[in-house]
Amino acid sequence: MRRVVITGLGAVTPCGNNVASTWDAMVNARSGVRRVTRFDASEFPVQIAAQVKDFDATELIDKKMAKRLDLFAQYALVAAREAFGHAGLTAYADGNPRFGMFIGTGIGGLNEIVAGAEAFRERGYRGLSPFFIPRALSNLAGGHLAIEMGAQGPSLCVATACATGNHSIGEAFKAIRDDEADLCLAGGAEGAITALGLAGFMVMKALSKRNDDPESASRPFDAERDGFVMGEGAGIVVLEEYEHARARGATIYAEIVGYAHSNDAWHETAPPPGGAGAARAMTAALKSARLNADDIDYVNAHGTSTPMNDATETQAIKGAFGDHAKKLMVSSTKSVTGHMLGAAGGVEAIASVLALHTGILPPTANLKNPDPACDLDYVPNVARDLQARAALSNAFGFGGTNATLVFKRFLA
């Protein structure tokens, strides 16, 4: 099978609008969670979120283009441009049929849908912008990127809730491995922190209510965790066939070697007791990677900071890794970024790649009182130096969907 490597990274997150600032925050356990400033949440039981900060689309994107894009697509465009430039690539003016685009989103153009609904209610069809549908459509982030960069190859917009980023990267990996493409941009984007979006998750009782201490609100695996913190942004990576990357002298940050997915077939939002579906995804991903359980040193956990997810994922890791689970180092970078929904998998893939490339494992922030039901090594609060051989990254979404990626430290 053809080898697939990671040659570019791009991010827009609550911790910074590029990879360097995001990684620095992750390594130093510096939370991006704050009180909501985008709208008046003073009457809400939940008044905190992990918002992207200091993001002015008109400074980062051509003004005409910015007007055509919903916020999630603006984030995707900025992150993808960073990843493409980071990889030393430029747009293909005449198009490239071997260049694929796999950019997904969990919710899509919620800002435009909310604004359009209000305009329609007030003025009828005359109130709608001609850009209403293009801004709202989930696949238009990848569509605009394909036009800008000349990506004429395989194109797919995955929408699998919080597993979106992992599914997108995994499907791009398969496209290159199976000789359908030589190069892909892949990941996820989300921009759904609106009053409606926050309220929707809030009435599900899924969110943390730590309004008095936002920065410690996301606390995966801690006994006092009380829900996730809604986040946003984008995480995009460049995947490339190894010989293609080597031929152009690209810097290789890691190799992606495995991918698998499963469904719990249990409940629309809750994981099953024991996490059997998640364990199946991890086991199948190891098989895809042709690795044994004891070849993995680090797991970037889904780790949402909800009582049910974190305990269930712990059980799932034990189910997939057996005795080796106690030797793994596991951390959740959502403790810093919040839960970026459809963008989470892309950003966490970047964290996994950089952990392998730099030899630094990002910690789980805010882990002060370990839950007895969560009894693995979660790298609490302080980063750890380790030349990890391989890393596994989990993402689980509503609807019972699970996706696992496996990366290896690059060896020529």
Residues recognised as catalytic? 162, 302, 339
Chain-centre distance for alpha carbon 325: 24
Tokens coding 357: 């490339």
Q: In angstroms, rounded to a whole number, what is the distance separating the alpha carbons of residues 305 and 242?
A: 37
Decide: helix, strand or coil at residue 262: strand
Put residue 95 in one of left, alpha, beta given phi > 0 → left and psi -120 to 50 → alpha.
left
Residue 235 and residue 345 in contact, taking contact as beta carbons nearer than 8 Å: yes
Q: Left if phi > 0, otherwise alpha if psi is -120 to 50, otherwise beta: which for 381?
A: left
Look at residue 99 and give its three-state secondary structure: strand
Which residue(s) pair with 261 in the sheet? Answer: 403
Question: What count of other Cβ atoms lies within 10 Å of the Cβ of residue 323?
Answer: 9
| Residue type, position 371, single letter | D
Show the CA angle centred on residue 295, arms to residues 290 and 298, nearest 5°.
Answer: 120
**Distance in angstroms (rounded) separating the CA atoms of residues 96 and 120:** 40
What residues contact residue 44 under an 8 Å CB cut-off, 6+ apart? 36, 198, 199, 202
**What is the token pair recorded at 268?**
């629309």
Map residue 111 onto helix, strand or coil: helix
Identify the sign of the CA torsion 153, 346, 271, 391: positive
